[in-house]
Amino acid sequence: MVVVLGIGRKKCAGKLVGISKEILNDIPRLFNIFFQAIVESRATILNIVTTIFPENEGYHGCTFFATLAQSHAWLETTPELGTIEYEIETCGNETNPQKFVDHLSISLRSLL
């Protein structure tokens, strides 16, 4: 669901649960899904920072943060809980944050 924050400002955020630790530990695949989700939203990527957290019980959590020409997007994994949290916020009428959410959901469901 897209929340309109003001003239031209839109935000989507959510949490996906029940994702296996193996999927959450495949950081290159998750990065590609995150990147493609931003592309699908029609936002312009200026920079992406990836943080991989120290191993915990054989698994790494990670955070991707993208600075967009229109604002920002992020995704964070918590393997011990089997979750991914995400947010995208954009300004302007050329972007569609719901497409970001749709791509994440469809891509991750296809891995289950």
Q: pLDDT tens, position by position, for the chain (112 residues)?
A: 445 555 557 888 999 999 999 999 999 999 999 999 999 999 999 999 999 999 888 889 999 999 999 999 999 999 999 999 999 999 888 899 999 999 999 998 888 7
Q: Which residues make beta-bridge pairs with 51?
A: 63
Question: Any idea which residue has 């393997």 for tokens?
Answer: 79
Structurally, how many domains does the chain consist of? 1
Q: What is the CATH number of the domain that holds 64?
A: 3.60.90.10
| Neighbouring residues of 81: CB distance < 8 A, sequence distance ≥ 6 | 17
pLDDT the model gives residue 5: 52
The residue range of the domain holding 40 is: 3-111
